[in-house]
Each structure stands twice: as structure tokens, then as C-alpha cells.
Amino acid sequence: MGFYPGNIALYQTAFRHKSAASETSHGSKNSNERMEYLGDAIFGSVIAHYLFKKFPYKDEGFLTKMRSKIACREFMNKLAVKMGINQFVIYQGDKNSRFKSINGDAFEALIGAIYLDKGYDFAEKFILERIINLHVDMEEVETTETDFKSKLINYIQKEKKSMQFDIEEEQIKGHQKQYKVSLIIDDELVGKGLDVSKKRAEQQAAHKACEFFNIL
Amino acid sequence: MGFYPGNIALYQTAFRHKSAASETSHGSKNSNERMEYLGDAIFGSVIAHYLFKKFPYKDEGFLTKMRSKIACREFMNKLAVKMGINQFVIYQGDKNSRFKSINGDAFEALIGAIYLDKGYDFAEKFILERIINLHVDMEEVETTETDFKSKLINYIQKEKKSMQFDIEEEQIKGHQKQYKVSLIIDDELVGKGLDVSKKRAEQQAAHKACEFFNIL
């Protein structure tokens, strides 16, 4: 990763999934979850500033959307594998079936560890030079819409399940109509969505279903 | 605020609400919205680290909850007024009726301006010394639960409206029951909630109703 760690214990904790954690003498766990919480925040603010500078004439709606695409769980998991972080993760049990975000979580925790070890400016430089410049194609991020419905349909076809979107129109206070979507897969309600746009309500429901089936 | 600004233009932008913005030569607006987006991220990461250090044996669930209480819109608005930031905000129109979060937004934008002007470490020091130490009682934050239902009931009584919670039990995949709450005020559906806890589902619905009536 281009640098020597100062406090190695921080990095050891960053790679320890909760399944492999033990209890400390204070009754807390030595897993990477606290560090992941911290790394998530640091990563978020570095990306926020990066986008702020890169797109000086775009409004905050655009910036927020771009950031949420880069900071999303799926993107994190991919980045973690691309960078080889998955090789260092310590866990117990079957990684693939149970812990879908184990690599992305470790990736965030690593950011937290670097920040604690080396400070904000170093962490920022690491994120920009080693992650964004090497692994993120900003134009691709800009043009990619996360399409949960397509993702779900692929899965449904592969698994030979049945799928049905139930859509209700609803009049909410005032004039605007809302769409209430219930997504039923194999006779079970697995996701719901509510939005003034039918398409967005469906995407919400599909997103929940993707989470449910662990296919994000 | 205890320091001299470097680039005064940044602070002027931070206090300019979109209602008083004009178009720049690039077609973008000179309002504080982009800076608010940035300040929100910086504030979030500073608070994340502060809580991480202050509560070394608490888990990430606790830390996340504490952070969301401190970084919430309502808390920001109060802080902004406590610090006198509301006196500097430039806007057009009736502040009280239309722009409930105008002060909190300017407060976040100010953090963004300080960060851009002076860097991360300075912004962090400002947040800790001038905001957290002076204006935030961490024990109070820890013990206060944001109770949207009580807040809403007060409002309903004052405004002499009628209120009704409709609760449905639902069986979602597997064994766990979920509660689906519809909150009806004066015959209109104004909020919904869905959770395995009935209390939390009600709070969700009440939260949405509070947003709807602008009483956060």
C-alpha cells in the first residue's frame, strides 16, 4: 500500500471481522466494527471534498448522489477485492454465504486505522492516490445508475423464482400522488417502496429485495 | 468565533441562503448549498472521531446513534441560534414560515468554509473547542431519546387536529412479525412506519408526520 504502518495493532484490528473477535478485559470486542464506523466517516468527508473540487459547477444534489455511489457497500466490497484487502481479513466460518460485506467493512476499517495511525492529511492522500486515482473511473460512476430491479430480475431468473410487483396509487395530503409498491417473490413479501415516482418506488422495493437475498 | 478569516468570500457564501442567491457566470448558484454538503461531511467525521475517543468501550451502534443525534437537523438549528449564526444569514422572504432549517444549513456551510479556508485540523479544533465543549452536553445527548410521538401529540392538541395510528401485524419471510403503522391526521395519511418493534414503527410514522408539519 505504499507506506510503513506506525502502530501495527491498529491494522490487525482493522482486519478482524466480528466472527473472529474475542472479548477484551473491558468487556468490549476487539473486532473491526468501531474502526469501520470511523473509517466510513473519514472516507465520506475525503470523498465529499474531492467531488466538491472536481465538480465546481455542479449542485449539491449531484455531489451527494456521486458520493453515495462511491461510498456504497457494493462499491466498497469491489474496491476491497480489487486492492487485495480480502486476503488479509480474519474471520470464522463461511465467508461467502454469511458475510457479504466482510471485505468492504475491512476496507473501511483500514481507512480508520490509517487515520488513527497517521492523521487526516495522510489518510486523505492515501484515499486519493491509492484508491480514487488507481481504482475509480469517475466518468463511469457518473453514468452508472444502480439498477436494483435488473439485478433482481437476473437473480430471479437464475433461481427460477416467481416475482410480482403490486402497485397501489395513493393520494397523500395535498395533490401529489404516491406509489406504494409491494414486491412479492415466491408468495412472500420481501420489499416495499413508496415514492411519487413509480419507477423509484419499484427501485426501492427491489433494493430491499436485493438486500434480503444478499445479492448486492 | 475566535479567529480571523483568510478568504472572506468563503464565509460570505456560507451565509447566503439559496433564496438570496444569484447565478454565477458558469450557470451555477452562489448559495451555500454546496458548502453545506461539504461542511456536513467534515462535521460528521470530526464528531465520529470525537465519539470514538470519548467512548473507547462502546460499540459502533452506540457511536452511530450518538452521532446521528448530534448531527441531526434539529440539533444543528439550535446550535446555530445558540452561537448567533442566525444573525449573519442572508435570505429573501419569510424565514420562519418557509425555511425551517436555514440556520442549521448555514451552520454546516460555515464548517465547510472554515475547512476550505484553514484545513481539516483547524476545522476539527474549531468544532471541538467552540462547539462541542461550549454548547454540547454529551450526557444530555446520551440520555435524550428523540420522541417524535410526544412532539406530535403536543402539536396535534395545540392545533386541535385528530390523530389515529392504524397498526397492522405482518408476517415477513421466516418467523419475525413486523408492525406496519399508518398515521392518519385529520383523515389524511401523513406518515408510515415499518419495524419489528411496534414502538419504533410508531416513532417512524410520527417522525415523518413531524417532517410533514415542519415541527422538527
- Could you read off the pLDDT of B22-59 as tens digits, one per residue? 887 777 788 999 999 999 999 999 999 999 999 999 99
Please indicate, yes or no, whether residues A128 and A161 belong to a single structural domain of this protein: no
Question: Which residue numbers in chain B have pLDDT < 50?
Answer: 97
For the cut 60, the answer to whether the pLDDT of residue A40 exceeds it is yes
The reply to whether residue A45 touches residue B49, judged by beta carbons under 8 angstroms, is no
Can you give the pTM of this predicted structure? 0.73
**B63: Cβ–Cβ under 8 A, 6 or more apart, which residues?**
A34, A37, B48, B51, B52, B55
Tell me, what's the pLDDT at B15? 95
* CATH assignment at residue A162: 3.30.160.20
Give yes or no: residues B160 and B119 share one domain. no
Gyration radius (Cα) of chain A, Å: 20
Q: What is the mean pLDDT of chain A?
A: 87
**Is there a single domain that holds both residue B85 and residue B192?**
no
In this complex, is the C-beta atom of A38 within 8 Å of any C-beta atom belonging to chain B?
yes
Of B84, B119, B143, the position where a domain reaches its end is: B143
Best of A18, A34, A184 to disrupt the B interface by mutation (most B CBs within 10 Å)? A34
Inside any domain, residue B1: no
A124 contact B CB<8A: yes
Whether the predicted interface score ipTM is above 0.85? no
- B105 and B202 inside one domain: no
Q: Does B37 touch chain A (CB under 8 A)?
A: yes
- The answer to whether A45 and A31 have CB atoms below 8 angstroms apart is no
Residues A193 and A96 grouped into a single domain: no
Q: Is residue A100's pLDDT more than 80?
A: no
Residue of B nearest to A175 (CA): B188
Q: What domain range is B77 assigned to?
A: 8-143
Interatomic CA distance for residues B135 and A59, integer angstroms: 31
Residue scoring higher pLDDT (B171 or A181): A181
Q: Which residue has the cell 484487502?
A: A85
- Nearest 5 degrees, angle CA A38-CA A44-CA A50? 140
A62 within a domain of the structure (yes/no): yes
Any chain B CB within 8 A of the CB of A183? no
Report yes or no on A3 lying in a domain.
no
User: Residue B2 domain-assigned?
Assistant: no
**Residue A117: which residues within 8 A CB-CB, separation 6 or more?**
A5, A6, A7, A10, A11
Q: What is the mean pLDDT of residues A191-214?
A: 84
Q: B40: which chain A residues are within 8 Å (Cβ-Cβ)?
A: 48
Total domains in the fold of chain B: 2
Torsion sign over Cα A80, A82, A83, A86: positive
More confident residue, B186 or A74: B186
Instruction: Give yes or no: residues A107 and A47 share one domain.
Output: yes
- How does pLDDT run across B61-76, given as a tens digit for each residue? 899 889 988 888 778 8
> Residue A142: is its pLDDT beyond 50?
yes
Rounded mean pLDDT, A210-214: 79
What's the mean pLDDT in A131-151? 84
* Burial (Cβ within 10 Å: 0-12, 13-18, ≥19) of residue A160: exposed
Q: Look at A28-32, A172-176, A179-183, B194-198 and tell me which has the smallest mean pLDDT.
A: A172-176
d(CA B74, CA B63): 19
pLDDT at A177 over 90: no
Q: Do B44 and A44 touch (CB under 8 A)?
A: yes
How many Å lie between the alpha carbon of A178 and the closest alpha carbon of chain B?
A: 11
State the CATH number of the domain containing residue B109.
1.10.1520.10
pLDDT exceeds 60 at position A212: yes
Q: In this complex, is the C-beta atom of A192 within 8 Å of any C-beta atom belonging to chain B?
A: yes
* Residue A109 predicted with pLDDT over 80: yes
